[in-house]
């Protein structure tokens, strides 16, 4: 019978074979080896052949997985240029103090994590001693390397900063206790410890995503001749469990596609996540290797320590390698906690060849291999991997380093499923750890059962060595630069005031107005090149295609093709020095770009001005976690939620209709949230943002904020900026959140002297409904209405909260919203294109009777007019709601409300 495998069709069948006889000979040779020496020998020969082919430059698809062994053999390991014994003593002190810090803090109930750094200590120590460039690096001055530290490893980083004199014992004793000052945040938080941390990473998954885009942004700065940061290297330290987060692997293809060899992922594969094994029945290292290789990354596996070399030399049949590949991770973890007899029976006893090998091994040797010898715990192995990573060109590198979670912490910690939640060691466990690490700490130093911190002395050989190594690499790390930068010069005033005259009869949406403003700003001779336009593949939706030929779309390869629209004025132009970051359909990637650009002022000493424009519905709702990360990282720039509001997108429906982004934005203390109605308001807000973030911030103003503007796609004639007495203080009102746009009298409506009066507050596109309602109220109901533009409900609320806090301190302060509305007659009716919760933010500080309208509920597909009628926010609905307020006050007849409802068909 014919072997069915032999007749399976192949994609090669469709290609001509110029020498079928030669092909048959190769296949026959493979069959012969398989029959004579077995399939494992045949596989070995095939892999050797593939390696030779790759070495000769023959293009072949790569295997996605390799054996469960180290990528770099022991014989090929380079010799580190340092004192290995000294580095071991330094690492021992850091291990001790990291555990002591968390244990001492446990008496306050603040928690902390010990096991992660214990497993990853050498991954960090090797980098700090030999690879991580500081800000004073001659190769990359002012920038150095960018380090994304795994959040749960922060105690180890603090311990090292304590050893080199940057932190004191008081600091360590205030780990996770910040309210009294002089404390240390639980994880890497730049806003809480801005001289040390650069990148917040403990919202897992955001670190790897941000690291990729940081490496990409470094290339952007270099290719655009802003600053040469080609010597900066981005290091992201990650956990194997963290790789399950979708953001962790979302941009792997981008990194390889753009050849980001300035990027290294170091994944601590201790095989455990927070509650147990990462892949209990599988092998996470093999899975990650296939994933990264498939995405085009260079993969280095650092799995086994030198104790395993003897075992691999004894493996003449390949049985050991096969067994290592088949044992699931949870069983590897079990071996870590069992005796030699168990390992002999369960690991070696499964194969006769392995059983024979085990006879040659002592119990001590077996325990050394299975309990202690991991690649991630040996500085030589880690050094070899790091050196190979930084020397590899053409693609990013991932290092898969196998470790033991809780290593050196004793039998009670190592590989235990619960060790992530274990916050302290006993005194006896500390003494065992001391003996293991050979630290000169006496029993007498454990006063009243309190574990002491350990320090060899400021002038000790260990500290001198540590500081000398860091000096050679460019200073301390991690470190964030907070020195004052020279303010950027303000753009020409006419750039902003050109919007004051309005658009006349021309219909212009505020989205179009913003894009026009940006077009003028990027032409500025002083600051134009610092703008970083970011868009997730919807530039044409927002009218930005005119920027393509003038600014160019960034591509590290330039434009290797002739664009299909090259004969058109606004053709699709890519360039190596392009200014626009057109990210494709990835809001997460766009936000990561924005974060890198918005913090360039501190990362590289080069302030950049990013603006990221997106469908407002797909901003805060989809990437609010990254916007929190942006605030934590002290980023500056402009987020622009375009096609904003619940009802302005005709026909798009529920999934596109944003009625809540200002609510989410209001939860972020760093977000300055604005909902401007008119083009001149957009200009005033952007001008103020540039002043505050990049110019001269006023006393008491935090420049480390970002601005969120909602802009609309509804083309409407843009009014001129009010002038004269009515326009007094308008710019201040726009920035603070509220000003009176007009009165019934200034609108030419000539109300009767004793006419009932109401105050209509509107934001964004809703102000146009309010203006129509103003006219209807006057002409059909004899009611005078004044219209106010509420540019920021959130800023009004924050000012009022500050005023309330001041009153509790005994200071007299009146909220701005109360000042602005003081003396305004009648009730107040607020309306926006968002849920009522947005305007209701200010309700408790308005002295007048207050009511609101909003687009609550889910969006729907329809015309603008129909959608507004459905939600009860159109002009006629405003009229009915206003009459109802006045009727409750007895200022209009109650029947007017019913009459209006019937007249307008509500």
CA distance 235 to 119: 18
pLDDT 10s digits, 332-353:
999 988 999 999 999 999 999 9
CA distance 665 to 619: 10
pLDDT at 490: 94
- 50 versus 745: the higher-pLDDT residue is 745
Determine what percent of the chain is predicted with pLDDT higher than 70: 97
Mean pLDDT value of segment 526-545: 90
pLDDT at 685: 98
- 483 versus 89: the higher-pLDDT residue is 89
The first and second tokens of residue 179, run together, are 């309210």
Other C-beta atoms lying within 10 Å of the C-beta of residue 847: 12
- 182 versus 258: the higher-pLDDT residue is 258
Q: At what angle do helices 461-473 and 115-130 cross, to 10 degrees?
A: 60
**Alpha helices (H) in 709-792, listed in sequence order:** 730-736, 766-781
How many angstroms separate the Cα of 184 from the Cα of each of 105, 191, 202, 533, 769? 11, 11, 15, 36, 51
pLDDT at 726: 52
* Bridge partners of residue 129, in order along the sequence: none
Q: What three-state secondary structure class fits 740?
A: strand
Q: Which is nearest to 293 in space by CA: 62, 53, 52, 72?
A: 62
Q: What three-state secondary structure class fits 713?
A: coil
pLDDT 10s digits, 117-135:
999 999 999 999 999 999 9
Q: Which is nearest to 527 in space by CA: 641, 634, 633, 610?
A: 610
The answer on pLDDT for 415 being more than 80 is no
CB of 287 within 8 A of CB of 65?
A: no
Residue-averaged pLDDT of the chain: 93
CB of 579 within 8 A of CB of 530?
A: no
Mean pLDDT value of segment 472-494: 91
Mean pLDDT value of segment 202-223: 97
The answer on pLDDT for 391 being more than 90 is yes
CB of 460 within 8 A of CB of 666?
A: no
pLDDT 10s digits, 68-97:
999 999 999 999 999 999 999 999 999 999
The answer on pLDDT for 728 being more than 70 is no
The first and second tokens of residue 222, run together, are 């270099």
How many angstroms separate the Cα of 709 from the Cα of each of 471, 633, 734? 44, 20, 12
* Bridge partners of residue 304, in order along the sequence: 374
The answer on pLDDT for 6 being more than 70 is no
Which residues, including other chains, have CB under 8 Å from residue 516's CB and lie 6 or more apart? none
Flag the least confident range among 57-71, 638-652, 748-762. 57-71
The answer on pLDDT for 4 being more than 50 is no
pLDDT at 829: 98
At which residue do the structure tokens 């700003």 appear?
A: 521
| φ/ψ bin of 189: left (φ > 0), alpha (ψ from -120 to 50), beta (otherwise) | beta
pLDDT at 489: 94
> Within 13 Å, how many C-alpha atoms sit on residue 905's CB side?
4
The answer on pLDDT for 247 being more than 80 is yes
The answer on pLDDT for 413 being more than 80 is no
CA distance 708 to 679: 15
CA distance 29 to 282: 34
Flag the least confident range among 232-246, 407-421, 439-453, 797-811. 407-421
CB of 761 within 8 A of CB of 796?
A: no
**Order of strands, edge to edge, in the sheet holding 146-148?**
146-148, 234-239, 263-269, 397-402, 298-302
CA distance 762 to 740: 10
CB of 776 within 8 A of CB of 875?
A: yes
Which residues, including other chains, have CB under 8 Å from residue 405's CB and lie 6 or more apart? 115, 116, 118, 119, 270, 271, 272, 414, 415, 419, 420
pLDDT at 876: 97
Q: Which helix (H) or strand (E) holds 761?
A: strand 757-762
How many angstroms separate the Cα of 733 from the Cα of each of 382, 556, 666? 59, 44, 19
pLDDT tier for residue 725 given thresholds of 50, 70 and 90: low
Q: Which is nearest to 286 in space by CA: 339, 328, 342, 231?
A: 328
609, with CB counted inside 10 A (0-12, 13-18, 19+), is buried
CB of 502 within 8 A of CB of 720?
A: yes
pLDDT tier for residue 273 given thresholds of 50, 70 and 90: confident
The answer on pLDDT for 1 being more than 50 is no
Q: Which is nearest to 502 in space by CA: 334, 681, 245?
A: 681
* Bridge partners of residue 42, in order along the sequence: none
Q: Which is nearest to 233 in space by CA: 82, 381, 127, 152?
A: 127
pLDDT at 541: 84
Other C-beta atoms lying within 10 Å of the C-beta of residue 442: 8
pLDDT 10s digits, 35-60:
998 888 888 898 888 888 888 888 77
Q: What three-state secondary structure class fits 671?
A: strand
* Residues shown for the chain: 906
């Amino acid at each position: 019978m014919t072997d069915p495998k032999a007749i399976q069709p192949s994609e090669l069948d469709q290609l001509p074979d110029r020498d079928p006889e030669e092909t048959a000979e190769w296949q026959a040779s493979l069959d012969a080896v398989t029959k004579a020496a077995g399939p494992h020998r045949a596989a070995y020969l095939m892999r050797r052949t593939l390696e030779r082919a790759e070495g000769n430059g023959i293009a072949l698809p790569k295997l996605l997985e390799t054996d469960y062994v180290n990528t770099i053999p022991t014989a090929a390991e380079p010799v580190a240029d340092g004192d290995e014994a000294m580095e071991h003593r330094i690492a021992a002190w850091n291990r001790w103090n990291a555990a002591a810090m968390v244990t001492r803090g446990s008496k306050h109930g603040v928690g902390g994590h010990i096991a992660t750094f214990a497993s990853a200590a050498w991954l960090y120590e090797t980098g700090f001693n030999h690879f991580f460039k500081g800000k004073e690096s001659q190769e990359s001055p002012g920038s150095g390397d960018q380090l994304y530290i795994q959040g749960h490893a922060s105690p180890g980083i603090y311990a090292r900063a304590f050893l080199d004199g940057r932190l004191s014992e008081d600091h360590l004793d205030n780990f996770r206790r910040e309210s009294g000052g002089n404390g240390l945040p639980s994880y890497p938080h730049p806003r809480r410890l801005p001289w040390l941390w650069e990148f917040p990473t403990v919202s897992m998954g955001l670190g790897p995503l941000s690291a990729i885009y940081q490496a990409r942004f470094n290339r952007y700065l270099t290719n655009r001749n802003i600053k040469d940061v080609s010597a900066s290297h981005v290091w992201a330290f990650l956990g194997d469990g963290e790789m399950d987060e979708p953001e962790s692997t979302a941009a792997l293809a981008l990194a390889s596609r753009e050849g980001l060899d300035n990027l290294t992922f170091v994944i601590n594969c201790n095989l455990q996540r927070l509650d147990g094994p990462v892949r209990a029945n599988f092998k996470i290292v093999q899975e990650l290797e296939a994933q990264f290789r498939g995405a085009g990354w260079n993969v280095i596996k650092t799995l086994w320590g030198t104790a395993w070399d003897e075992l691999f030399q004894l493996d003449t049949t390949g049985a050991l390698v096969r067994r290592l590949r088949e044992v699931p991770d949870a069983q590897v973890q079990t071996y870590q906690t069992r005796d030699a007899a168990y390992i002999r029976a369960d690991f070696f006893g499964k194969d006769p060849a392995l059983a024979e090998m085990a006879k040659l091994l002592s119990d001590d040797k077996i325990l050394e291999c299975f309990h202690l010898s991991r690649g991630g715990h040996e500085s030589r192995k880690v050094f070899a991997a790091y050196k190979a990573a930084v020397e590899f060109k053409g693609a990013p590198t991932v290092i898969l380093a196998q470790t033991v979670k809780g290593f050196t912490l004793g039998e009670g910690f190592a590989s235990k499923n619960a060790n992530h939640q274990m916050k302290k060691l006993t005194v006896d466990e500390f003494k065992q750890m001391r003996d293991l690490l050979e630290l000169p700490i006496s029993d007498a130093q454990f006063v009243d059962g309190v574990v002491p911190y350990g320090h060899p002395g400021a002038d000790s050989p260990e500290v001198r060595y540590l500081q000398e190594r860091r000096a050679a690499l460019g200073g301390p790390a991690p470190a964030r630069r907070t020195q004052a930068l020279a303010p950027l010069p303000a753009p020409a005033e006419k750039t902003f005031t050109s919007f004051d005259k309005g658009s006349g009869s021309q219909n212009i949406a505020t989205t179009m107005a913003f894009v026009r403003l940006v077009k003028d700003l990027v032409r500025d001779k002083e600051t134009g090149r610092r703008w970083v336009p970011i868009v997730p593949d919807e530039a044409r939706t927002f009218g930005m295609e005119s920027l393509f030929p003038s600014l160019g779309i960034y591509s590290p390869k330039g434009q290797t093709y002739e664009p299909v629209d090259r004969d058109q004025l606004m053709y699709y132009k890519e360039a190596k020095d392009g200014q626009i970051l057109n990210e494709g359909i990835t809001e997460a990637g766009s936000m990561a770009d924005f974060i890198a650009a918005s913090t360039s002022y501190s990362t590289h000493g080069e302030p950049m001005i990013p603006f990221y424009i997106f469908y407002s519905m797909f901003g805060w709702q989809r990437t609010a976690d990254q916007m929190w990360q942006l605030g934590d990282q002290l980023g500056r720039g402009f987020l622009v939620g375009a096609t904003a509001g619940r009802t302005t997108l005709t026909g798009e429906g529920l999934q596109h209709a944003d009625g809540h982004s200002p609510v989410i934005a209001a939860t972020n203390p760093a977000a300055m949230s604005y909902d401007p109605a008119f083009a001149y308001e957009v200009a005033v807000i952007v001008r103020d943002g540039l002043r505050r973030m990049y110019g001269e911030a006023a006393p008491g103003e935090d420049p480390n904020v970002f601005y969120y503007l909602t802009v609309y796609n509804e083309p409407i004639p843009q009014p001129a900026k009010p002038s004269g007495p009515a326009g007094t203080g308008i710019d201040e009102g726009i920035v603070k959140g509220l000003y009176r746009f007009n009165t019934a009298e200034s609108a030419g409506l000539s109300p009767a002297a004793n006419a009932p009066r109401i105050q209509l507050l509107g934001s964004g596109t809703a102000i146009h409904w309010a203006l129509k309602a103003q006219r209807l109220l006057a002409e059909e109901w004899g009611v005078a209405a004044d219209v106010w533009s509420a540019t920021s409900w959130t800023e009004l609320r924050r000012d009022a909260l500050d005023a309330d806090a001041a009153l509790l301190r005994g200071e007299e302060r009146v909220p701005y919203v109360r000042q602005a509305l003081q003396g305004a007659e009648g009730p107040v009716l607020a309306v926006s294109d968002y849920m009522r919760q947005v305007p209701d933010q200010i309700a408790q500080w308005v002295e007048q009777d207050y009511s609101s309208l909003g687009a609550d509920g889910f969006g729907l597909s329809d015309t603008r007019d129909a959608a507004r009628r459905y939600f009860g926010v159109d002009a006629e609905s405003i009229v009915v709601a206003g009459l109802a307020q006045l009727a409750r006050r007895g200022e209009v007849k109650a029947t007017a409300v019913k009459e209006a409802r019937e007249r307008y068909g509500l």
